[in-house]
Structure 1
């Protein structure tokens, strides 16, 4: 067994590199991103597939305040010296994550959003002291920093920060927003969706709607919120999802990368089990392993070479949506779930642009959520079962691996059983009421 340092639970690129952690090189993504030339780039992938680490990598590469040459030394992107000369540490960067902007009440989530904005202002406190930035902007900046700003201040905060950074540096700003859809997902769970949408669509929308201070934006999340809700007015906008072939190698591990990791850690014989449990996700035309699972299992093998695969990935962030589907009285998908659990496939329509307030209003949306969040994966035409033909505007889906099958077996199936029991109880009480009413009528006669 070879002792390597795994980046367990680390999603900060600088920490991974300076701690000498094992890193599978994904820096080629930078060159492909810059080759796109879109102003707003939305990247949607399931949880635990490396989105945050990728966003952190971008921040380290572009941020004008840093010298990142040592971090990228020896990696693929460093081979393109001209690109590095033009882009590495050449632009002001505003990097934020909305993963913690949540709560049971709107007031709680809104308070956390103000905290995120305040933290950004503290990180860029030089803007409040710069002799180049506007005095009125500094006053608003001070309110945001101290969390005393009003709703208008909050909604316009990112636009204000890009303007101040542009003025200070004399360069346009790169904006990186990680987990942009978490506030709306939680708002959908706790019934304050419209209130949060009203904040978020202006908070983010003002940044990419005719913003003269924006170089480009990269936005990551699990779902593409319908363009009418969040990305209205976004100029030169592109969305990249698990259905797209572009960037298909950059989120998650390919089989070649997993094989290399297992060789380097001394467990090459573990590949067949890891493949059964953690492979099977289809991004574009590429079969992808979940990196979170692979790293967790290799870590377990390093502690105990006889360790068996376990369920490391349960996407609790979308469990509430799925359970709400199952509890709806007019949606009955038991048969399709039984087909999936038996190793079969289903053919359904998929919507890739959803809003969290309508996510649980149709069966089509259920399959869309399960597909986009990693519970189900696409079957390519050449892999269809004998006799099955691909229908227009539909995708053929299956459970990707043993781990997700265990999630369905242990969790989703139990929810269906709860629903059936509840329906049986309701039917029992209805019949009891009918009997009681009948006896009362007989006595009355």
Structure 2
């Protein structure tokens, strides 16, 4: 057994994963790989955003097929064990498993990086095949060809995790990238010793391989291929099961099923199924707390990285997306790794590939509350966003004025929005007014769960602010009107009984104990003026 060849690392890690309380069995994926292994010389690449289960699946595949271990104790109770081919394929093959994001701290050049990989694999091959001819240190391709020539049964399954990790390293030059692509091509393309090459990464191969270097791979992305779509990310059914387990394990539940959906749902497969960010779901249940578990791996400025040189192009669309509106975009099958993102569609393509945006039916949007908080944080910290930044900075004052019933201050802040250069918002309809209101209440997201177009009572309300941090805080129902009065907005809140939404939640523990505020905001397009009105709803009106 070696480090890369028939090692036990994948088995150890995957066995540990299956023992965790919120483990999700995705082993049925293996059945789809059986025909590929059987026919030989097959190459597939799975690309997904980070933390979507790529490494767990790579460990599963390596530990299942590798003859370097006996994984019966791991797989006998998983879904794959039900299939008749299970015993035929389990632990019967030589597996070369390489995690490309694993390198030593003293590695400071591409030559050192690839040299470590070549050298270790050469050592593994020499130990397993002591009679194999050596062609010099690290000449693994010739070694593999020689091994196969001597023994045609010597064929390998390659499991290559995070293949594109190298492209994100500062020490890697453009020439190094070309060398790396040629290395993978020489290692894998048209080689009889390859039974199957299974590769994972974040960015599509097409971004890097403009020619024929890696065209032997069939690539499966989240937005272009339905196959394997349920393997990466959690489906609604899987989250339901995890939540039932959470309820059985947790004595004092602080996470609701609805909150899991609001915080971590929002991604879409090619087939239209919604999927959750798996890391965030597991950690929120494990910690009994909602939080930014996925985005904590990179601060808000990671989002800003993609747009800082093209703020003007994307600013208005971001204002709409923060409002919960999807905007049209032509998503391309690549994403740049440099700062040289030339167009809005290139920027949004990169953000979809990295998981910062979700894409469906030709439109992009911010997928969930976890990411919405990061976008909101960015908008309040970057003056380069112009009017969006100015309105976001006023959002704390707007919230406090609303709670205090200070409609004069509310009107002044809204007039600031109108008098600021706002090319997006011509105030021709309530959607544009909604975008402005989202911006001027942006800081409310820190303490409230803000829902738009929520079904409440007999109709749909524009905004409901649910106090999540402080159950003594005021609840807010906000209705918008164009060319009408704020009195009409308040009347609609009462007539359609929008407060019924709070009534059902007041039975929850802990109960809401604050006031319920009905807030009406209107804009007169002729007079070009805002009006605001606030009423505290009586108990009989709730």
TM-score in same-fold range (> 0.5): yes
Give 1:70 deviation, angstroms.
1.7
Q: Which residue of 251, 256, 267 corresponds with 1:270?
A: 256
Instruction: Tell me if the contact between 1:322 and 1:366 (Cα under 8 Å) persists in the aligned partners.
Output: no
Give 1:224 deviation, angstroms.
0.4
Instruction: Tell me if the contact between 1:339 and 1:346 (Cα under 8 Å) persists in the aligned partners.
Output: yes
Give 1:28 deviation, angstroms.
0.7
Q: 1:399 to 1:164 in 2, by over 3 A?
A: farther
Partner of 1:327: 308
Q: Which residue of 344, 365, 376 corresponds with 1:398?
A: 365
Partner of 2:474: none
Task: Report 1:334-345 matches (<5 A).
Answer: 334-345=315-326
Tell me the distance in 1 between the aligned counterparts of 2:373 and 2:146.
50
Partner of 2:222: 242
Give 1:198 deviation, angstroms.
2.2
Partner of 1:209: 189
**Larger strand share, 1 or 2:** 2
Partner of 2:67: 64
Q: 1:214 to 1:241 in 2, by over 3 A?
A: same
Tell me the distance in 2 between the aligned counterparts of 1:336 and 1:271.
30
The alignment status of 1:177 with 2:157, answered yes or no, reads no
Q: Which residue of 173, 180, 191 corresponds with 1:200?
A: 180
Give 1:323 deviation, angstroms.
3.5
The alignment status of 1:80 with 2:61, answered yes or no, reads no
Tell me the distance in 2 between the aligned counterparts of 1:16 and 1:161.
34
Partner of 2:16: 15
Tell me the distance in 2 between the aligned counterparts of 1:414 and 1:246.
40
**Larger helix share, 1 or 2:** 1
Tell me the distance in 2 between the aligned counterparts of 1:168 and 1:414.
64
Partner of 2:284: 297
Give 1:347 deviation, angstroms.
0.6
Partner of 1:4: none
Partner of 2:402: none
Per-residue deviation, residues 247-279 of structure 1 (Å, max 9, x unmatched): 111111111111111211226872111110011
Partner of 2:130: 130
Point out the more displaced range, 55-64 or 83-92.
Answer: 83-92
Q: Where does the alignment leave 5 or more consecutive residues of structure 2 unmatched? A: 1-10, 388-542
Q: Where does the alignment leave 5 or more consecutive residues of structure 1 unmatched? A: 1-9, 145-152, 302-306, 381-394, 422-445
Partner of 2:486: none
Instruction: Tell me if the contact between 2:34 and 2:89 (Cα under 8 Å) persists in the aligned partners.
Output: no
Tell me the distance in 1 between the aligned counterparts of 2:242 and 2:310.
47
Partner of 1:96: 98
Number of residue equivalences:
367
Give 1:161 deviation, angstroms.
5.7
The alignment status of 1:407 with 2:374, answered yes or no, reads yes
Give 1:79 deviation, angstroms.
1.1
SS at match of 2:23: coil
Partner of 1:417: 383
Partner of 1:25: 25
Give 1:359 deviation, angstroms.
5.8
Instruction: Tell me if the contact between 1:210 and 1:234 (Cα under 8 Å) persists in the aligned partners.
Output: no
Give 1:110 deviation, angstroms.
4.0
SS at match of 2:268: strand
Give 1:226 deviation, angstroms.
1.8
Q: 1:87 to 1:227 in 2, by over 3 A?
A: farther
Cα RMSD for the two superposed structures: 3.3
TM-score normalised to structure 2 length: 0.61
Larger Rg: 2
Per-residue deviation, residues 89-129 of structure 1 (Å, max 9, x unmatched): 222111111124699x99435423333444444555514x6
Give 1:41 deviation, angstroms.
0.3
Give 1:219 deviation, angstroms.
0.8
Q: 1:278 to 1:228 in 2, by over 3 A?
A: closer
**Structure 1 segments of 4 or more deviating over 6 A?**
317-321
Partner of 2:145: 163
Tell me the distance in 2 between the aligned counterparts of 1:165 and 1:227.
33
Q: 1:346 to 1:165 in 2, by over 3 A?
A: farther
Partner of 2:441: none
Task: Report 1:208-227 matches (<5 A).
Answer: 208-226=188-206
TM-score normalised to structure 1 length: 0.73
SS at match of 1:333: helix
Tell me the distance in 1 between the aligned counterparts of 2:275 and 2:295.
17
